[in-house]
Chains A and B, each alone.
Chain A
Amino acid sequence: MRINSKLVKSAIAAVVVSYSSIASAELNIFACEPEYAALAKELAPSARIYSATTAMQDPHQVQARPSLIAKMRQADIAVCAGADLEIGWLPMLQMKSSNAKVRSTDQGLFYAAEQVETIDQLKSVDRSMGDVHAKGNPHLHFSPERMLQVAQGLTSKLIAIDPDSKASYESALKSFSHKWSAAIPVWEKKAEPLKGKKVIAYHSSFKYLFTWVGIEQVADLEPKPGLPPSSSHLASLLTRTEAGDVMAIIVASYQDERGANWLGERANLPVQVLPMSVGGNDQSQDLFSLYDSVLDLLLDVSTR
């Protein structure tokens, strides 16, 4: 009996030791959107990173599906846009996955929107306004300055969770910040011809991008945030295009092109699909190539 209990104890100890050593060797990062999976890859290259959504999926509408619960159960850090973008599914994942580590922002939960000032914050929100976010526009990954702040915040979070690897996180941040800061003026120079152009777009998905490069979104394909384009609304947009100042109709990779195509055909305007995130088209393999691709596509459509 004595031997048995000793054996059991040592077996348990062995399991615990091997489990904890695996855990510390590889940080598990759960990213709600692919842009944050890409950022995590820049800042923690050795981590096991899982993205809950792809650039082809609307992050507003995600099923709290079993595979996501299983991934969140194992996560050390969850990196999400925040500002209520994931309100329809993240709380259910947290509840179902029973993982205390990623339950609150005190611990492993990280919201990008909390690191920066979001645009379009609302004092009061009513459902008659559509599916709006009181905490501002959460699609902030097309603001290069804000992404730099998010990278700093995420690095602090990584260090807090995994202090042993502090030095490597700091050097990864330094390297990313250097590359990113160098890329910003290049992008801005490239985007100069886009300044002052007017577009009709779907949702406020590219609001940060447009604000950054100086494009004006004069109308939205959605009659109200979250509502699909209706025929009466599209007809009113057709009237708007008669002014002749609209450059193109912009749709994100996870949005339905039918309304945009209907309008494009009648108004004789080009319809351009932009990758919403990394993986949204073949060119967008990381955050740098995502920005390159989006600017190339916009420049291309402006000369059409």
Chain B
Amino acid sequence: MTVLNQRISCVAAACALFSTSAFADNPTLTNPAISAVLDGYYQNTERPMAERGEGFGLGHTELAMSANIDDMFYGKLTAVIEMHDGETELGLEEAFIQTLAMPGGFSIRAGRFLSDVGYLNNQHVHTDAFSDRPAAYRAFLGSHYFDDGVRVNYVAPTDLYWTMGLESFKGDNMRAAGGESDEHFEEHDDHAERDYKNIGIYTAYTKIGGDIGHGSWQAGLSYMRNENGRMVEGEHEDHAALEAGHDDHSHSATFTGENTYIADFVYKWAPNGNYKYQHLTVSGEYFKVTDFAPLEDGHDTDVHSADSVDDMQGWYLSGVYQLSPNWSTGVRYGETDVQELHGDHFDPQKLKETEVSLAWHHSHFSTVRLQYTNQQGTNYFGIEDDNVLTLQYVMTLGAHGAHQF
């Protein structure tokens, strides 16, 4: 006991010494960075699979807190408050710890966090130049994919930026529908309940990047394995989820498959590399989702063979230019091709979006944006109006963290 006490007092003494020497001028000790994001909008109609509804509404209202926990760990908590149909929903988007002092360029992140697949996914929604994520993100990642899991990341000690990582997540939001509520299944006992795997998602990604003149670029490749991504026969859940996309507000991916491949790139340029007044951002991503068709297990074999269905895919290309510190404008075009299972056959669906946005920034912390989207959907996307107008504000207050490239 005495030994233990002595040890503890030694630790306490060391801490006391540390607090004066190491952390004295570190504001995060007494003062974790606390910030809020306020996001409100008016929109004349809806985009398929998007989080924003028609009329007045609140987008991602965020409350975030972050600090270095000690010299080994950093922690961040982001709560998201969303209003839906008169109800206030509190969600946890981030609650993670990350190592700060592992040797060899390694780091580990654990808890709930945004997956690092693709380019946009690890960016916070309020930093986007458009009011909603591209349709490919909404279809395959539930707008932005965050989940409970763990990540190991490595940065190579090279002049060319090279990072790679592995992630594993619970994957509840990425499950293909089970069809429990489907009457069709109750007739088949063996299909009445789907046996999901507890660890649903594994990802691997790599990114490289560097500078060319006054421009900077980054390119990435990601692979996502979804153990629960394959549909089961005869389900109608996808269609229901699609129609209810804005009702249940679950952040679930609408379309899933066992394998998802993502290629992404971004290029940024500013005159003399000075981002104060003008800068250009060009980015694009391509998604391919495969192995979603139900496996043939003895019956209905001839109706839909997995080989006969095209893979699902989606892509977008976006360009955003900051004309002056006060004004920025952007254009984005994207296409998404998905396959919806209806009983014994797949129906292809296609969504094309052409978007233009104009934003006014009074300072770095306040943005008012007007966005026009022309959406062209074929088959079941259920678009009521091809023309979407969104007027939105996004403002941050408090000690807001640094942004990613």
Contacts and interface: CB of A to CB of B under 8 A. Distances in A.
B348 interface: no
A128 B22 CA distance: 32
Contact of A99 (B105, B153, B208, B324): B105
Given A67-B209, A96-B155, A57 B274 contact: yes
Contacts of A54: 272-273
Interface string B214-239: 00111000000000000000000000
Nearest to A19: B157
Given A70-B155, A73-B157, A228-B326, 11 more contacts: A64-B402, A64-B403, A67-B161, A70-B162, A87-B402, A92-B403, A98-B153, A104-B71, A131-B364, A226-B363, A226-B364
Contact of B216 (A57, A63, A105, A255): A63
B275 interface: yes
Interface stretch (B85-93, B94-102, B311-319, B330-338): B94-102
A71 interface: yes
B94 to A, nearest CB: 14
17 contacts: A57-B272, A61-B276, A63-B275, A65-B218, A65-B268, A66-B216, A67-B161, A70-B159, A73-B156, A87-B402, A94-B100, A97-B105, A97-B155, A98-B153, A104-B71, A131-B364, A227-B362
Contact of B161 (A70, A95, A256): A70
Contacts of B379: none
A98 B268 contact: no
A106 interface: yes
Interface string B277-288: 100000000000
Contacts of A99: 105, 155
Contacts of A97: 105, 155
A254 B276 contact: yes
A91 interface: yes
A60 B402 CA distance: 11
A8 to B, nearest CB: 18
Given A58-B274, A64-B403, A98 B105 contact: yes
Most chain A beta-carbon contacts within 10 A, residue among B157, B160, B216? B157
Interface of B: 21-22, 25, 71, 74, 98, 100-103, 105-107, 153-163, 207-211, 216-218, 268, 272-277, 324-326, 362-365, 397, 401-405
A127 interface: yes
Given A74-B157, A127-B397, A64 B404 contact: yes
Contacts of B74: 95
A203 B218 CA distance: 33
B210 A67 contact: yes
A254 B278 CA distance: 12
Nearest to B23: A104
B107 A65 contact: no
A131 B216 contact: no
A103 B101 contact: yes
Q: Chain A binding site: helix, strand, loop or mixed by DSSP?
A: loop
Most chain A beta-carbon contacts within 10 A, residue among B74, B163, B365, B397? B163
A172 interface: no
A48 B326 CA distance: 39
Nearest to A67: B211
A256 B105 contact: no
B109 to A, nearest CB: 10
A100 interface: yes
Nearest to A87: B402
B117 to A, nearest CB: 16
A100 B101 contact: yes
Contacts of A162: none
B107 A63 contact: no
A56 B159 contact: no
B364 A73 contact: no
Contacts of A64: 402-405
Given A98-B107, A254-B276, A66 B364 contact: no
A22 to B, nearest CB: 11
A215 interface: no
Given A64-B402, A64-B403, A73-B157, A95 B25 contact: no
Nearest to B397: A127
B98 to A, nearest CB: 7
Contacts of B273: 53-54, 56-57
Given A54-B273, A98-B106, A92 B363 contact: no
What 7 A-B pairs come out closest when comparing CB atoms? A66-B209, A66-B161, A100-B101, A92-B402, A70-B161, A56-B272, A58-B276
Contacts of B153: 98
A288 interface: no
Contacts of A63: 216, 268, 275, 405
